[in-house]
């Protein structure tokens, strides 16, 4: 019913190539890795690709949100690396056109919040949240979110800083828009490698932490979502965001760097 990839074992030439790479990976890695519980081990490239293929196949075959949520408990690695819903409870808000118009008056042409904005805040919560963002040095990120919300209409993306935050703004304005972060995009780029794996590129993808200069990947991911899940998203507004949650866990599980998207140590 839905487009899926064939199991790797069904393609003997590809399977032999993957197996040869697997042997290289195994001989170059410490044997102690394979003596630890799977959820505490670092996957080699073959194992990472297999997890990616299995997870995407389950996502493509999911009919409802509950099917997507079950994916997160179907594998010990995905369960370990899933988003902590105590730390990130479900967002139950939407930016209206009026909200976005109001927010745009707070941002200058240089995509920075006006310097005197803090003096104009009214409610205690506004003041507290602004102070928190200021303390974390994240005022620029807020501006990117506002810009993304204003650009929710179909538009060609261009490379530049703050792409993940701009896409988050689009999601706040339109629930059918994916949240997208480095982990989701890492998982998707690895999925694109399934049919013709390039293991040097796979290693690079697994270490990649920033997509500001690769918005083409964001566009490909959004087209993939629209191609396969538009009807399911229309029937259940929470469908796409739950795909994001599954790929968030997958992307974390296959990541082989300890740095965050901003280059800082995780």
Cα angle: 93, vertex 120, 160; to 5 degrees: 60
pLDDT at residue 156 in the model: 53
Phi then psi for residue 113, to 5 deg, are -65, 145
pLDDT at residue 74 in the model: 93
pTM for the full model?
0.77
pLDDT at residue 70 in the model: 97
In the chain, domain spans: 1-92+184-261, 95-174
Query: How many residues are there in the chain?
Result: 266
pLDDT at residue 246 in the model: 97
Cα 28 to Cα 16, 50, 256, 257: the distances in Å are 19, 20, 15, 17
* Residue segments in the chain with a per-residue pLDDT below the cut of 50: 1-36, 262-266
Burial of 9 (0-12, 13-18, 19+ CB in 10 A): exposed
Give pLDDT tens digits for 128-146: 999 999 999 999 899 889 9
DSSP the chain: ----PPPGGG-HHHHHHHHHHHHHHHHHS-GGGGGS-GGGSPP-HHHHHHHHHHHHHHHHH--SHHHHHHHTTSSHHHHHHS--TTTSPPP-----HHHHHHHHTTB-TTS-B-TTGGGG--SHHHHHHHHHHHHTT-HHHHHHHHHHHHT-SS------TTHHHHHHHHHHH-TTS----HHHHHHHHHHTTSSS--HHHHHHHHH----TT-HHHHHHHHHHHHHHHHHHHHH-TTHHHHHHHHHHHHHHHH----B-TTSSB-
Nearest residue to 145 via CA among 100, 178, 114: 100
- Do residues 68 and 83 touch, judged by C-beta distance below 8 A? no
- Do residues 49 and 11 touch, judged by C-beta distance below 8 A? no
What is the C-alpha to C-alpha distance for residues 239 and 64, in angstroms, rounded to an integer? 7
pLDDT at residue 158 in the model: 73
- Do residues 52 and 254 touch, judged by C-beta distance below 8 A? yes
- Pair of tokens at residue 120: 């104009």
């Amino acid at each position: 019913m839905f487009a899926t990839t064939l199991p790797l074992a069904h393609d003997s030439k590809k399977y032999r190539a993957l197996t040869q790479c697997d042997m290289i990976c195994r001989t170059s890695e410490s044997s102690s890795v394979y003596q630890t519980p799977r959820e505490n081990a670092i996957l080699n490239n073959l194992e990472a690709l297999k997890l990616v293929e299995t997870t995407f196949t389950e996502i493509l075959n999911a009919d409802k949100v509950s099917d997507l949520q079950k994916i997160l408990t179907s594998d010990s690695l995905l369960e370990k690396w899933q988003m902590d819903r105590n730390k990130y409870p479900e967002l139950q808000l939407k930016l209206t056109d009026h909200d976005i118009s109001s927010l745009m008056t707070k941002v200058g042409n240089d995509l920075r919040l006006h310097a005197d904005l803090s003096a104009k805040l009214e409610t205690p919560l506004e003041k507290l949240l602004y102070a928190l963002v200021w303390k974390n040095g994240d005022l620029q990120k807020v501006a990117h979110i506002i810009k993304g919300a204003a650009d929710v209409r179909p538009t060609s993306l261009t490379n530049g800083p703050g792409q993940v935050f701009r896409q988050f703004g689009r999601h706040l304005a339109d629930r059918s828009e994916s949240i997208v972060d480095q982990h989701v995009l890492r998982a998707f780029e690895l999925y694109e490698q399934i049919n013709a794996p390039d293991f040097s590129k796979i290693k690079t993808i697994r270490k990649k932490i920033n997509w500001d200069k690769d918005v083409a990947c964001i566009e490909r991911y959004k087209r993939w979502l629209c191609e396969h899940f538009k009807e399911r998203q229309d029937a259940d507004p929470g469908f796409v965001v739950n795909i994001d949650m599954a790929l968030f866990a997958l992307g974390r599980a296959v990541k082989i760097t300890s740095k965050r998207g901003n280059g800082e140590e995780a």
